[in-house]
Structure 1
Amino acid sequence: MKLILLGPPGAGKGTQAQRLQESYGLVQLSTGDMLRAAVKAGTEVGKKAEAIMARGDLVPDEIVVGIIADRIEQPDCKAGYILDGFPRNVAQAEALDKMLAGKGTKLDAVVQLEVNDEILLGRIEGRAAQTEGGPRADDNAEALAKRLRVYHEQTAPLVAYYKQRGVLRGVDGMRDIDEVTRQIEGVLGLGEKKGKLA
């Protein structure tokens, strides 16, 4: 099963990806981790990425897609994977679809965690107030508000993109963690398949 979890910062994508990984053997693929691993391994795309990052530039989409293409061929991705942090915009989604089509495969589903921005901001303010020694630098309402703006400008158009392709599944991301997990399992038809996707 090949998935993307879609939703704004703070929606709980990381938590849910971890649960899917533990229950179904899906591999959570973070583009940041994959880039670092490709650089460390000295792969062809890793060397290109390293030179670009050394200049302080952003790694172009085609290199990121190349790294994903290499990574999903690894044996641990046989049962499936969850892409984390990619795609961030429609151009990246198109590049990803093209790469997957070239391998004779496609995404099974894109799960959208539907959340309320105001409640997310309230949560992060509450969490910051409870954190001893002050919050993390990026764990405050101002930083989250900025990240939410970027999400709505760049990433939210993916909802329409994947809806048009018939792979979008929506769940209520404002429910408690266990209920969100149950909803995701429901829309993916996973209820009875724990550990049986390989």
Structure 2
Amino acid sequence: MRLVLLGPPGSGKGTQATRLKETLGVPHISTGDLLRAEVAAGSPLGLQAKEVMARGELVSDDILLGMLESRLGRDDVAKGFILDGYPRNLAQADALDGLLAKIGQPLDAVVQLDVATDLLVERIAGRAQAEGRADDNPESVRKRLQVYNDSTAPVIGFFENRGTLTRIDGVGTMDEITARILAALKKA
């Protein structure tokens, strides 16, 4: 199963991907986690990414695509993957399409988690307190939601036009949302 999870920050993409990886038997690949690992390692890329992420901005498409291509080259993705946090704009969607064609792993499904904005802000505030994430401060959250609305929302149409997108209500218990996603994947 090759799956992309879409949704605004705080919609539960990472939580659901973590839950789905066991059921589907494929790795969860989060560009956010890849970037945070680079930051933690103190690599030149990590230092650059840290500065960009602290401002609530997105790291360049070229950097993300390079990281993703490297990750998709590992043996553990032979049976598929769950991609979380990418693509975030139409250029990335096109680049992902090209990369997946190049490696012979086209997408099986794209799931959009729909959650109201006020609930997103509430969820992110809770996550910021629990995890102490610098990229979840109030100013960064507002910026990220605006960036999502401006840049990432058009990606939904990209996948809708290809017939691979399914919208899922992202509100409910974790089990309810996981069940909705699995039901959608059975139809895909």
Q: TM-score, normalised by structure 2?
A: 0.77
Does the CA-based 8 Å contact 1:28-1:83 persist in structure 2? yes
In structure 2, what is the Cα distance between the partners aligned to 1:124 and 1:36?
A: 17
Deviation of 1:84 (Å): 2.1
Query: Following the alignment from structure 2 to structure 1, what is the Cα–Cα distance between the partners of residues 47 and 135?
Result: 25
Corresponding position of 2:170: 173
Separation in structure 1 between the aligned mates of residue 121 and residue 48 of structure 2, nearest angstrom: 32
Q: Supply the RMSD in Å over aligned alpha carbons.
A: 3.4
2:181 maps to 1:184:
yes
Change (3 A) 1:172 1:30: same
Of all paired residues, the percent bearing the same amino acid is: 49
Q: Give the structure-1-normalised TM-score.
A: 0.74
Unaligned runs of 5+ residues in structure 1 are: 40-46, 191-198
Query: Counterparts of 1:9-28 in structure 2 under 5 Å?
Result: 9-28=9-28
Give, as a single letter, the amino acid of the residue that structure 2 aligns with 1:163: E
Instruction: Work out the CA distance in 2 between the residues paired with 1:123 and 1:175.
Output: 13
Aligned residues: 178
Is contact 1:52–1:59 with CA below 8 Å preserved after alignment? no
1:69 maps to 69
The answer to whether the Cα contact below 8 Å between 1:159 and 1:168 also exists between their aligned partners in 2 is yes
Alignment-derived partner of residue 195 in structure 1? none
Structure 2's unaligned 5+ residue stretches are: 53-57
Q: Which has the higher helix share?
A: 2
| 1:180 maps to amino acid | I
Match of 1:154 in 2: 151
What is residue 55 of structure 2 aligned with on the other side? none
Q: Which structure is larger by alpha-carbon Rg, 1 or 2? A: 1
The answer to whether structure 1 residue 109 and structure 2 residue 106 are counterparts is no
